[in-house]
Amino acid sequence: MTEAFDAVDVIRAKRDGARLSPAQIDWVVDAYTRGVVADEQMSALAMAIFLNGMERAEISRWTEAMIRSGERMDFSGLDRPTADKHSTGGVGDKITLPLAPLVAVFGVAVPQLSGRGLGHTGGTLDKLEAIPGWRAGLSNEEILAQLGDVGAVICAAGSGLAPADKKLYALRDTSATVESIPLIASSIMSKKIAEGTGSLVLDVKVGTGAFMKDRHRAGELAQTMVELGTDAGVRTVALLTDMSTPLGLTVGNALEVRESVEVLAGGGPADVVELTVALAREMLDAAGRRDADPAAALADGRAMDVWRRMIAAQDGDPDAALPVARHTEQVLADRDGVVTVLDAYAVGVASWRLGAGRARKEDPVQAGAGIELHAKPGDRVRAGQPLMTLHTDTPERFARAQEALEGGVTVSAQETPRPHGIVLGRVAG
């Protein structure tokens, strides 16, 4: 087979700041997927993109090419609109769990294909696998059937979605090009568009516990992803949300499931409820359900009913006791005062070190490991009062978790202004 282009010519063009043609983009993504373009050549191209960027049309075409490398799901046969949500990842970010059944209450199908945690950020599938019997792996036929019956599904993405992205994602980590906004945006959006949803709401985290620490950069990423969705015919909206402090009062798999169930029962921490309702309103609005009241559906039990059916449909037992770690240790306040800092990254790393997260994709996680928070910024505490409780099955992990928390919690004598709301901004197409 004679190739349409030479990889070196494509690399040189982007290295010199040129705009890649649609034909060049189509070829290089396809050739890389086929193995014709070598890893070192794609690494060089990724670095050229990192340094020189891409225009909107280039990113859109790159995303289309990655989608075409695999299958595309089709929900057009459903009797209801579809809406999906993607979070860029954070600490204590359990929002998907109550959100999917909440949106489904109003006749909107939620095909939530999720992932596992890596490093200090938790994974939705790891959390749900703390529920006895629950199954992450579903066939496309099972996903479609569950959406038609229950209205919501949270499961693992199949290997057929955007295989080009899977290859490139691994390469970016080893070539120092992870932070490239065109490559981040196309990676996320190629998978989300391939999932076949009619509308998409993006939760772009900002702060110490987020991938994007800087608000300006987070806004740029949000804008790029909204443009990609719009170009692909998917109604897309993004919210910028705060991740300087962990969400809710729990970090860790079974602990976060328990808190999610509290939210579905009409309780739970105010910040988790606030963000769940805000994202639900955006998803419902994008799907044409503008008069829906998601807050009422949390309060009156309708969302809980869908949750129970969703868990049971994937062989989980919604009534089963959740795993509990065998050992606990408390972190105490060293003085009287007000909590002014509770660093999300420090808490995330501590939870990871306790066994709730993984350093490599193949590592196991402890279902019961994690951290319970007893105070958040703005709360007044006394010396000796518990600030948090650490949970693990392996107590030798406590020392390193405590090391991660050094400097991550500040108790001050002076009261500071109350924290701002969790939603920092909105980007629409």
Residue with tokens 């006791």: 321
Give yes or no for a contact between 137 and 143, defined as CB atoms under 8 angstroms apart: no
Give yes or no for a contact between 376 and 409, defined as CB atoms under 8 angstroms apart: no
Decide if 120 is catalytic: no
Decide if 187 is catalytic: yes
How many CB atoms are located within 10 Å of the residue 241 CB? 28
Distance CA 114, CA 124 (A): 6
* Token pair of 375 as six digits: 């105070």
The per-residue DSSP string of 121-161 comes to: B--HHHHHTTSTT------HHHHHHHHHHTSEEEEEPPTTS
Give yes or no for a contact between 189 and 225, defined as CB atoms under 8 angstroms apart: yes
Which is the catalytic residue, given 85, 172, 205, 353? 172
Which strands sit side by side in the sheet containing 337-342, from one edge to the other? 380-381, 337-342, 409-412
Question: Which residues on neighbouring strands pair with residue 156, listed in sequence order?
Answer: 114
Decide if 191 is catalytic: yes
Distance CA 280, CA 325 (A): 32
The per-residue DSSP string of 323-374 comes to: P--SEEEEEE-SSSEEEEEE-HHHHHHHHIIIIIS-SSTT----TT-EEEES
Give yes or no for a contact between 52 and 17, defined as CB atoms under 8 angstroms apart: yes
Which is the catalytic residue, given 61, 85, 86, 167? 86
Distance CA 46, CA 23 (A): 17
Decide if 172 is catalytic: yes
Distance CA 267, CA 304 (A): 12
Residue with tokens 């909206």: 237
Give yes or no for a contact between 179 and 194, defined as CB atoms under 8 angstroms apart: no
Catalytic residues: 86, 165, 172, 187, 191
